[in-house]
Amino acid sequence: MSKRQKHWLLGLGTLVVLVIVALIGASLYFYNLTVARGKKSFIGAPTVLKTSDPLYTQKHWFQTAHKYRWTEKAADAHFKLVADYVPAAKATKKTVVLVHGFASSKEQMGGYAGLFHQLGYNVLVPDDRAQGQSGGQAMSYGYFESRDYLKWINQVIARQGKQSQIVLFGVSMGGATTMMASGQKTPTQLKAYIEDCGYTTADAEIRYQAKQMYNLPYWPMVPLTSAVTKLKAGFSFKQADALSAVKKNHKPMLFIHGGADTFVPTKMVYQVYRADAGPKQLLVVPGAKHAASYSHSPKTYAAKVKAFLAEYVK
């Protein structure tokens, strides 16, 4: 081998090493951005509640309501999860468990909490793992959270008795979590699900956002970040799969989505709705953006939720 060839091979080897190092560094960056606990730069700060907010009454009620602190142990680990519980104005065995979205917290679920309070439900609002006041260092896009929420549901039953009637309601990542829970073995007291703007799979959503936000192709960053996630957090993006879960569901589910949702594209709701094996209803709110169907059309949204639940929670 000539001296020139040796230099060429050395240069090529150095380039390959640099590319590998760069890809590992980038995948770790995107892991911290999408999975690890911490503030997300692309998520805006919560806005101050104003009287002009169409859900002001519901949100203000939740801000000022007396809350009881509940705790639970994570499904796969020893860290603590935290929730706020608000009993209904009139004693009841009907309880809704609310599931918030990505980079959010229980405090951001006031509008929905207020809605269910108006419908006469006890309201339990946990902080997801690695968010809010709950422990943990990694979100799992519904994969582990769905198991956490089944533990919350079992705690409701333990506290309120076998006559409990429970609804699981989630928004965005919470909607996907709700769907993932529906594919598991659930207690008979869990009567119905409502999912609002959840994605089909974490892999599909992150693929979509990589293109939308960073103009990145699927390969290599999404699979590499998923591989890092598997090593560090114990799940891959493809395992966070709501689409497969609803195929196993046989309980009633209401699917809601904004017709102008460009964060979790509206087409995803039709995919999960068609796949669901149980009794199902669909509400697509024209003109509503991501996680804004309720604030966009409060009367339509509330009426649909009320009518759906009246069929399955007595």
Residue 215's contacts (CB-CB under 8 Å, 6 or more residues apart) are: none
Which fold does the domain 54-201+240-312 belong to in CATH? Rossmann fold (3.40.50)
- Taking Cα atoms as reference points, which of 194, 190, 189, 207 lies closest to residue 269? 194
Average pLDDT of the segment spanning 33-56? 88
Q: For residue 54, what is the DSSP state?
A: T
The pTM score is 0.95
Residue 172, phi then psi, degrees to nearest 5 = 60, -120
Cβ atoms of 187 and 154 within 8 Å: the answer is yes
Residue 21 is predicted with a pLDDT of 62
Residue 44 is predicted with a pLDDT of 73
Taking the C-alpha atoms of residue 15 and residue 165, their distance in angstroms, rounded to an integer, is: 61
Residue 46 is predicted with a pLDDT of 81
Residue 53: pLDDT over 70: yes
In the chain, where the domains are located: 54-201+240-312
- Taking Cα atoms as reference points, which of 27, 45, 14 lies closest to residue 227? 27
Share of the chain above pLDDT 90, in %: 86
User: How big is the CA angle at 37 (ends 34 and 43), to the nearest 5 degrees?
Assistant: 55
Average pLDDT of the segment spanning 110-130? 98
Residue 201: pLDDT over 60: yes
- Taking Cα atoms as reference points, which of 86, 91, 80, 92 lies closest to residue 68? 86
- Tell me the per-residue pLDDT of 4-40, one tens digit each, with 9 for 90 and over: 655 555 554 554 456 566 777 888 999 999 999 988 7
Task: Tell me which residue has tokens 């087409």.
Answer: 267
- Tell me the per-residue pLDDT of 96-110, one tens digit each, with 9 for 90 and over: 999 999 999 999 999
Task: Give the containing element (helix H, strand E) for 124.
Answer: strand 122-126
Instruction: Provide the angle, in degrees to the nearest 10, between the axes of the packed helices 221-233 and 3-34.
Output: 60
Amino acid at 130: A
